Amino acid sequence: MPLFFYLFLVKNKYYSYDEVQKKLEYYCSYQERCHYEVFNKIMQLNSNINDANKIITKLIDDGYLNESRFSKEFTRGKFNHKNWGRIRIRIELKKRKISKKNIEIGLDELDENNYIKKFNELFERQLDKQNHKIDMYSKKKIFDYFKYRGWENDMVFNKINALK
Rounded to whole angstroms, the Cα distance separating 54 from 39 reads 11
- pLDDT exceeds 90 at position 119: yes
**Residue 1 located in a structural domain:** no
pLDDT given at position 145: 96
Rounded to whole angstroms, the Cα distance separating 25 from 101 reads 25
- pLDDT exceeds 50 at position 162: yes
Task: From 31, 27, 41, 34, select the one nearest 68 (Cα to Cα).
Answer: 34
Q: Which amino acid is at 2?
A: P
Q: What is the pLDDT of residues 69-90, one digit of tens each?
A: 999 999 999 999 999 999 999 9
Shared domain check, 157 and 116: yes
* Range scoring the smallest mean pLDDT among 45-49, 90-94, 119-123, 155-159: 45-49
Domain final residue pick, 91, 107, 123: 107
The range of the structural domain enclosing residue 57 comes to 13-61
Q: What is the pLDDT of residues 29-43, one digit of tens each?
A: 989 999 999 999 988
Rounded to whole angstroms, the Cα distance separating 80 from 57 reads 31
Shared domain check, 56 and 18: yes
Shared domain check, 92 and 52: no
